[in-house]
Amino acid sequence: MTTRTPLVLHRPGTYRRGAVIVTGTILIGASGAVTSFVCEAVDSSSGIVKTAAKTGRYTVTLLRKYRNPRVTNLSLIGPTDAALTSTDGWFLSVRNLTGQTFDIQASQVSLADANPTSGNSIHFSVEVQVL
């Protein structure tokens, strides 16, 4: 019987070699502005911005280019005591996904673009492969 070398996974649960998870949080302010953000894989001053002339859209630019990016999670965390309304941007989707950038789009119930309410946070997770 031949002895085989076991497959070494860089991240448990995946067969994608070099796979890493990039996570971040965006705090939304008045008129959908980015108040602050936390993500170690982006530039600390300009890595996450509200996309100019686009309602409810945020551009995330990673510090480097990766292979096969997959946005695995987008979550909206509302403020403690405020209700979400049908005109708030609470439905999140991904647009313009490349190896280094992607956009997060917030929409209302009708799927029209809308800004999230001030005080909301957006959490995201992206699985990427290191080149």
The pLDDT, as a whole number, for residue 108 is: 94
The pLDDT, as a whole number, for residue 51 is: 95
CA dihedral (94, 96, 98, 101) positive or negative: negative
Weakly modelled stretches of the chain, pLDDT under 70: 1-15
* Edge-to-edge order in the sheet of strand 34-38: 34-38, 19-28, 121-129, 67-77
pTM (2 decimals)? Answer: 0.85
Tens of pLDDT, residue by residue over 7-20, are 444 556 666 778 88
CA distance 103 to 94: 6
Query: What are the phi and psi torsion angles at 30 (to 5°)?
Result: -60, 140
